[in-house]
């Protein structure tokens, strides 16, 4: 069998020096029918390795579960990497950051307030151990030492930016080895302060994460690790976007020059991201460095391979740099061709709040203070609070996580937004209060990982606590209940629009699977679905103006579009357009 080891100055593949030229592809952000295409395009750029995170919360949506099929078939993804003749690096966390919901940690884990976060607390370690056993059952047989593609395995992720619990790191190392990992273990941290030391152990190979000043960063790393190969485990060649800002881009020539400097210095590299993909559904994370900033649906990242899988100027600039140092394949991937364009009008709609049965809303009585949404057993998406108020006045909360729409006897009375720091709203009178709460994404970085969502009490009406709330989860896993209650919209001008909160439906024809780009000009905020698949969130504040529709979601013949609109639209029409629009950049 093959071997992969860490030498005094180089990585050693079968005892010969080997340079890792890796690109990040998150299988969980890409439709599984497109995995092979994205992997092949990495090979054509000159890469020899594919790196991926593993999202614990996605694989384990509930305690004791581990889902590893379909879009979460990590084994199949690694097998496709092997079939392409490439190697693989696996980074299972358990914390991954990745601008992913809760940094990949399952929200159910923290419903027990005694459980630690990224520490050697026993309850946390027990859960981590169970997760790692499931992951390594897939990874260990696919190590290069057993004929597979996996050459390295990461311990935690940028842990030095969070903590320095050596017992926790040692537990992960011991567990990995006990479960059969015999390839190099490594850590990655930013080359600043004491992060590299805090986030690793003496026996682990240390790598850096950065996107500029490559020689300076490599020098910092070498000072702290005098021997062994230099590696940038995350070469940040782009960046992510949050709602309400511009679309981040980096100059292809500047990024390519940094890559050239890194390779000229003899370092190995993992390009983060090679192909970003999409935060479909409710999977996006958020940052909170004093201001809550949820990440948008697109994770294009201004990467060499675009969100819809086509080479960019950066792809060819990077390919040219790699060709200066290593052989690259002669073949190049083709560019994007215009996607099918059309206009579709929604023809039926149903109110989101009017009937509990229609929304599969399960309510449970909280006998005391306003409860967090986690008590529903659903950890993402939308929730409905209900309470009877004896009178109107000022209703306030300790915090709103993350966006709450208030309705008094079915009439909208306002919105409280975490982004705006809002905590109080005037309720015009007594009656039945409903609050539609949107979890806009759990914080994925820093000390707020693991926090509860919902209306954070006490809830005070004119200074007096409001008790006996009901809270339920809006189940969007299936749209059947909404579809059966949808009523036809009256014939008339498409400019009549659609009221919200509601779910509206349309049918459109297609001649078969092919990528599309959905544009929702005139709509305000919500989620869009194709044939029941949740494409992700849209929002008129931008920056992104289109949602990517992976071709495999489209069927030949009739297809269904559903739109969950929270506020109201100025039109009943949506458009499929020829190319993506991720919004204006900062230039």
Query: Which pLDDT score is estimated for 71?
Result: 98
464 and 503 together in one domain:
no
Query: Which pLDDT score is estimated for 369?
Result: 87
469 and 486 together in one domain:
no
DSSP state of 27: G
pTM (2 d.p.) = 0.97
Cα(380)–Cα(534) distance, rounded to whole angstroms? Answer: 13
* Mean pLDDT score, 205-217: 97
182 and 64 together in one domain:
yes
Phi and psi at 204, nearest 5°, equal: -95, 145
In a domain, 332, yes or no: no
Of the residues 158, 258, 293, 573, which is catalytic?
158
Nearest residue to 466 (alpha-carbon basis) of 452, 455, 477, 475: 455
Strands 399-401 vs 502-511: parallel, antiparallel or unpaired:
unpaired
384 and 316 together in one domain:
no
Query: Which pLDDT score is estimated for 366?
Result: 53
- Contact between 142 and 74 (Cβ < 8 Å): no
Percent of the chain whose predicted confidence (pLDDT) is above 70 = 98
DSSP 3-state of 140: helix
* Mean pLDDT score, 115-127: 98
383 and 468 together in one domain:
yes
Over 50: is that where the pLDDT of 502 sits? Answer: yes
- Residue 277 falls in which region: left (phi positive, over 0), alpha (psi -120 to 50) or beta: left
46 and 117 together in one domain:
yes
In a domain, 173, yes or no: yes
- Contact between 469 and 368 (Cβ < 8 Å): no
In a domain, 92, yes or no: yes
430 and 514 together in one domain:
no
In a domain, 356, yes or no: no
222 and 305 together in one domain:
yes
Query: Which pLDDT score is estimated for 165?
Result: 98
> Is 509 labeled as catalytic in the residue annotation?
no
Cα(535)–Cα(277) distance, rounded to whole angstroms? Answer: 12
Last residue of a domain, one of 445, 474, 503: 474
531 and 460 together in one domain:
no
What are the E-state strand segments in 327-478? Answer: 342-345, 348-351, 362-366, 382-389, 393-396, 399-401, 403-408, 411-417, 424-427, 431-438, 454-456, 460-461, 464-465, 469-474
Query: Which pLDDT score is estimated for 354?
Result: 76
Query: Which pLDDT score is estimated for 363?
Result: 52
439 and 503 together in one domain:
no
Displacement of CA 415 from its chain's centroid (Å)? 26
Strands 431-438 vs 382-389: parallel, antiparallel or unpaired:
antiparallel
Over 80: is that where the pLDDT of 446 sits? Answer: yes
DSSP 3-state of 469: strand
* pLDDT band for position 587 (cuts 50, 70, 90): low
Mean pLDDT across the chain, nearest whole number? Answer: 96
The sign of the dihedral angle between the CA atoms of 28, 34, 39, 45 is: negative
- Contact between 301 and 289 (Cβ < 8 Å): no
Last residue of a domain, one of 474, 506, 535: 474
Cα(284)–Cα(19) distance, rounded to whole angstroms? Answer: 33
pLDDT digits (tens, 9 = 90+) for 184-197: 999 999 999 999 99
Cα(339)–Cα(519) distance, rounded to whole angstroms? Answer: 13
> Is 579 labeled as catalytic in the residue annotation?
no
Query: Which pLDDT score is estimated for 357?
Result: 36
CA-CA distances (angstroms) from residue 93 to 52, 65, 159? 11, 17, 10
In a domain, 124, yes or no: yes
Copy the structure tokens of residue 330: 């002669």
pLDDT digits (tens, 9 = 90+) for 24-65: 999 999 999 999 999 999 999 999 999 999 999 999 999 999
294 and 395 together in one domain:
no
pLDDT digits (tens, 9 = 90+) for 480-497: 999 999 999 988 788 899
Last residue of a domain, one of 474, 492, 510: 474
In a domain, 149, yes or no: yes
Expressed as residue numbers, the domain containing 459 is: 361-474
Of the residues 51, 99, 156, 234, which is catalytic?
234
Query: Which pLDDT score is estimated for 586?
Result: 75
Over 90: is that where the pLDDT of 83 sits? Answer: yes
Check residues 120 and 368 and name the one with the higher pLDDT.
120
Enumerate the β-bridge partners of residue 384: 436, 472
The DSSP annotation for 297-310 comes to SB--TT-SB-TTS-
Cα(101)–Cα(106) distance, rounded to whole angstroms? Answer: 9
Cα(148)–Cα(135) distance, rounded to whole angstroms? Answer: 15
pLDDT digits (tens, 9 = 90+) for 318-329: 999 999 999 999
* Mean pLDDT score, 279-300: 98
Total count of residues recorded for the chain: 587
- Contact between 581 and 307 (Cβ < 8 Å): no
Query: Which pLDDT score is estimated for 360?
Result: 45
Q: What is the CATH number of the domain that holds 417?
A: 2.60.120.260
Query: Which pLDDT score is estimated for 364?
Result: 54
In a domain, 409, yes or no: yes
Task: State which H helix or E strand residue 188 sits in.
Answer: strand 185-189
* Mean pLDDT score, 224-245: 98
Percent of the chain whose predicted confidence (pLDDT) is above 90 = 95
Over 50: is that where the pLDDT of 444 sits? Answer: yes
Query: Which pLDDT score is estimated for 430?
Result: 98
pLDDT digits (tens, 9 = 90+) for 355-405: 543 344 445 555 578 998 999 999 999 999 999 999 999 999 999 999 999
Cα(317)–Cα(320) distance, rounded to whole angstroms? Answer: 5
Enumerate the β-bridge partners of residue 10: none
346 and 286 together in one domain:
no
* Mean pLDDT score, 206-223: 97
In a domain, 118, yes or no: yes
Query: How many domains would you assign to the chain?
Result: 3
Copy the structure tokens of residue 36: 């092979």
Nearest residue to 91 (alpha-carbon basis) of 36, 179, 157: 157
pLDDT digits (tens, 9 = 90+) for 552-570: 999 999 999 999 999 999 9
């Amino acid at each position: 069998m093959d071997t992969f080891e860490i030498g005094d100055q180089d990585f050693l593949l079968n005892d010969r020096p080997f340079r890792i030229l890796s690109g990040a592809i998150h299988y969980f952000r890409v439709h599984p029918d497109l995995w092979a295409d994205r992997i092949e395009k990495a090979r054509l750029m000159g890469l020899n390795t594919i790196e991926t995170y593993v999202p614990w919360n996605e694989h384990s949506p509930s305690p004791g579960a581990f889902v590893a099929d379909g879009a979460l078939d990590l084994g199949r993804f690694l097998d496709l990497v092997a079939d392409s003749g490439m190697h693989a690096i696996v980074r299972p966390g358990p914390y991954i950051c990745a601008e992913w919901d809760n940094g990949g940690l399952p929200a159910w884990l923290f419903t027990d307030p005694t459980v630690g976060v990224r520490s050697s607390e026993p309850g946390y370690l027990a859960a981590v151990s169970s997760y790692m056993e499931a992951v390594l059952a897939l990874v260990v047989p696919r190590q290069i030492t057993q004929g597979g593609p996996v050459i390295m395995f990461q311990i935690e992720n940028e842990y030095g930016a969070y903590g320095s619990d050596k017992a926790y790191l040692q537990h992960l190392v011991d567990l990995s080895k006990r479960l059969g990992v015999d390839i190099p273990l490594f850590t990655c941290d930013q080359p600043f302060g004491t992060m590299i030391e805090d986030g690793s152990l003496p026996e682990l190979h240390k790598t850096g994460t950065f996107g500029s000043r490559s020689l300076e960063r490599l020098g910092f790393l070498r000072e702290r690790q005098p021997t062994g190969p230099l590696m940038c485990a995350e070469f940040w060649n782009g960046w992510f976007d949050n709602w309400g800002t511009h679309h981040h881009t980096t100059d292809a020539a500047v990024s390519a020059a940094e890559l050239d400097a890194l390779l000229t210095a003899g370092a190995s590299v993992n390009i983060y991201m090679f192909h970003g993909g999409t935060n479909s559904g409710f999977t996006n994370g958020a940052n909170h460095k004093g201001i809550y900033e949820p990440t948008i649906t697109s994770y294009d990242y201004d990467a060499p391979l675009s969100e819809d899988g086509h080479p960019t100027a950066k792809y060819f600039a990077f390919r040219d740099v790699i060709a200066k140092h290593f052989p690259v394949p002669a073949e190049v991937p083709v560019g994007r061709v215009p996607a099918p364009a059309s206009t579709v009008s929604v023809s039926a709609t149903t109110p989101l709040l009017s009937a509990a049965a229609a929304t599969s809303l399960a309510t449970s009585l909280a006998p005391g203070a306003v409860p967090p949404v986690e008590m529903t057993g659903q950890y993402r998406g939308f929730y409905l609070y209900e309470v009877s108020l004896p009178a109107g006045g000022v209703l306030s909360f300790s915090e709103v996580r993350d966006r709450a729409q208030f309705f008094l006897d079915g009439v909208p009375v306002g919105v409280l937004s975490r982004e705006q720091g809002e905590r109080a709203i005037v309720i015009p009178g007594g009656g039945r209060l409903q609050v539609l709460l949107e979890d806009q994404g759990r914080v994925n970085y820093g000390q707020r990982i693991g926090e509860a969502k919902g209306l954070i009490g006490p809830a005070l009406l004119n200074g007096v606590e409001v008790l006996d709330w009901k809270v339920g989860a809006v189940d969007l896993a299936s749209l059947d209940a909404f579809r059966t209650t949808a009523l036809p919209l009256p014939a008339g001008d498409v400019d009549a629009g659609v009221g919200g909160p509601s779910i509206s439906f349309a049918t459109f024809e297609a001649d078969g699977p092919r990528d599309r780009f959905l544009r929702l000009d005139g709509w305000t905020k919500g989620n869009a679905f194709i044939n029941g698949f949740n494409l992700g969130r849209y929002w008129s504040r931008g920056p992104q103006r289109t949602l990517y529709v992976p071709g495999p979601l489209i069927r030949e013949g009739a297809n269904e579009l559903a739109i969950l609109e929270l506020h109201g639209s100025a039109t009943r029409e949506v458009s499929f357009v020829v190319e993506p629009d991720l919004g204006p950049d900062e230039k």
